[in-house]
Chains A and B, each alone.
Chain A
Amino acid sequence: MTKVRVSMEVNQQMRDAQIEPRMLLVSFLREELGLTGTHVGCETTNCGACTVLLDGRGVKSCTVLALQAEGKKVTTIEGIGTAENLNPIQLAFWEKHGLQCGFCTPGMILASYELLEVEPDPDEKVIREALSGNLCRCTGYVNIIKSVKYAAKLRKKGMRGLRKGAA
């Protein structure tokens, strides 16, 4: 099958490649760009481990063709913070033990990111609804909810990016 060109902005950098049209966005991110922070979980649109932001909205990248992201902005977990400079949501998940194995975490954090952009001070019901497309088999969700609430608090204090030690 002939390859086609796709280009999109990934984590604020223009990226393009020649791909097969059938390539999924998650494969484009992981295999073409090496951004393996986006995880492949169920591959059936259930678990949300592959969640990324497409023009600011959370989507399951295992169920989006790379070509559907043509000309759009994609944000992955690599785009919201670094080990040296964590995003407040990442810091909050760390502080409040919002993860155990960590497999679902990138998806949880990006879904939380979209939520907090829209609703800076969500209550538990709103958080649970916003994360209802993301499955975690370790935590029982209680600490994830605490993490998102704590992240909201950190963001309100104007903490956009910071080191763990500085918290």
Chain B
Amino acid sequence: MNPKSFEYHAPKSVAEASSLAEEYGMDAKFLAGGQSLIPLMKLRLLSPSHLIDLGRIPGLSYIRDEGNHLAIGAMERIAGIARSDLVRRQCPILSQCAHQIADPLVRNMGTIGGNLSHADPTNDMPAVMVAAGASIVAASGQGSRVIPAGDFFVDTFTTALKGTEVLVEVKIPIGPTRRGAYLKLERQAGDFGIVGVAAVLEMSSDGRCLAARIALTGVGPTVVKATRAEEILKGVELDKNTIDRASRAAAEEAQPSGDLRGSAEYKRAMVEVMTSRTIQAAARRRAER
């Protein structure tokens, strides 16, 4: 099983990659780790005539503590994030998510930039980015701009990136009042999730939830933001009744469709269960630094 023939380009800079994308337009695709793109190309679901490999651009693979956020280079491998002590300490939700993506071998190739720009509604990272209030840095030959994660995921396999823009960095806010968790219900180890829930809570010192952000994986055309659930959690103590009401709201906000991983009804029921577990897991975390 081989992809269709294509012309291969290995730019040495983001500007060069961007100008190649401009030249070849819709006939071109960027290649990051390839763990989503190459399978699609082998199945001939996608057959770009030009492949622009970002793998030889230096300086796109890093994890940095920048005080109020972590900055992660687009070509950082999922495995690098999963292994990072810095991420585990400062942003446990991201560490927890990275460990649940595919399997260790896929994580060794797959990148955070590829995961996000692929915008598969069953990919795990997008919900975490939305819940964490992350920003995505997109660059082209003309400079760069910052896109809030909440605006980045437009539709299935569709992001706010323009054709000539390369996702170069992700900025994830961190801080002592934030508690986050990502839980995923899997049919089998390493598979895409049936549903996944990301929750990030801002907690006061007396244990109240000042604000919450909840985002759902696998139950809509793209990441679903459970805004009514967030409203229910805001400014209150997280007792059982509150968490139950928020979880029910999240289930109502989900837009699942039935497929081989379960019926729409089943997925909706699982959103309720998983939202409850995720909020509790987040609330149980100790201060993140």
**Total count of chain B residues near the partner, CB < 8 A:** 30
- Residues in chain A near residue B220, CB distance under 8 A: none
Name the distance in Å between B57's Cβ and chain A's nearest Cβ.
13
User: Taking A24-B2, A65-B38, A70-B56 as contacts, is the C-beta distance between A133 and B51 under 8 angstroms?
Assistant: no
**How far in angstroms is the closest Cβ of chain A from B7?**
7
- A 119-140 binary contact with B (CB < 8 Å = 1; else 0): 0000000000110111000000
A113 → B minimal CB distance (Å): 12
Where chain B touches its partner, the secondary structure class is mixed
A89-133 contacts to B (CB < 8 Å): 111, 129-130, 132-133
Q: How far, in angstroms, from A16 to B243 measured CA to CA in the complex?
A: 59
- Inter-chain CA distance A23–B42, complex, in Å, is 11
Q: Does A88 touch B at the CB level, under 8 Å?
A: no
Q: A22-B5, A43-B42 are in contact. List 13 more A-B contacts (CB 8 A).
A: A21-B5, A21-B6, A22-B6, A22-B41, A24-B38, A45-B106, A58-B108, A63-B35, A63-B106, A65-B31, A70-B56, A111-B105, A133-B106
Chain A stretch 43-69: residues in CB contact (< 8 A) with chain B: 43-46, 48, 51, 54, 57-60, 62-65, 67-68
Contact with A along B1-21 (1 / 0, CB 8 A): 111111110100000000000
14 of the cross-chain contacts (CB-CB < 8 Å) are A21-B5, A21-B8, A21-B51, A24-B38, A48-B105, A60-B106, A63-B34, A63-B39, A64-B109, A65-B34, A68-B31, A70-B56, A133-B105, A133-B106
A4 within 8 A of B: yes
Report the Cα distance A133→B53, complex, angstroms: 25
The residues of B that contact A54 with a CB separation of less than 8 Å are 108-109
User: In the complex, what distance in Å separates the CA atom of A164 from the CA atom of B38?
Assistant: 40
By a beta-carbon cutoff of 8 Å, the part of chain A in contact with chain B is 1-2, 4, 20-24, 27, 43-46, 48, 51, 54, 57-60, 62-65, 67-68, 70, 111, 129-130, 132-134
List A contacts of B2 (CB < 8 A). 22-24, 27
Q: State A12–B137 Cα separation when bound (angstroms).
A: 39
Q: Is there an interface contact between A132 and B104, defined as CB atoms closer than 8 Å?
A: yes
In the complex, the 10 A-B pairs of residues with the closest C-beta atoms, listed nearest first:
A133-B103, A21-B8, A1-B5, A133-B105, A57-B108, A22-B3, A43-B1, A58-B105, A132-B103, A63-B38
Bound-complex Cα distance A120 to B55 (A)? 30
Residues of A with C-beta under 8 A to B104: 58, 111, 129-130, 132-133
- List residues of chain B with CB under 8 Å of any chain A CB: 1-8, 10, 31, 34-35, 38-39, 41-42, 51, 53, 55-56, 79, 102-106, 108-109, 189-190
The answer to whether A67 touches B106 (Cβ under 8 A) is: no
- For B51, list chain A residues within 8 Å (CB): 21
Cβ–Cβ contact A57 & B106, under 8 A: no
Looking at B4, B8, B56, the one whose CB has the most chain A CB atoms below 10 A away is B8
Residues of B within 8 A of A68 (CB): 31, 34, 53, 55
A67 vs B8: C-alpha distance when bound (angstroms): 9
Is the Cβ of A45 less than 8 Å from the Cβ of B10? no
Decide: A132 and B6 in contact? CB cutoff 8 A: no
- A100 to B74, alpha carbons, bound, how many Å? 41
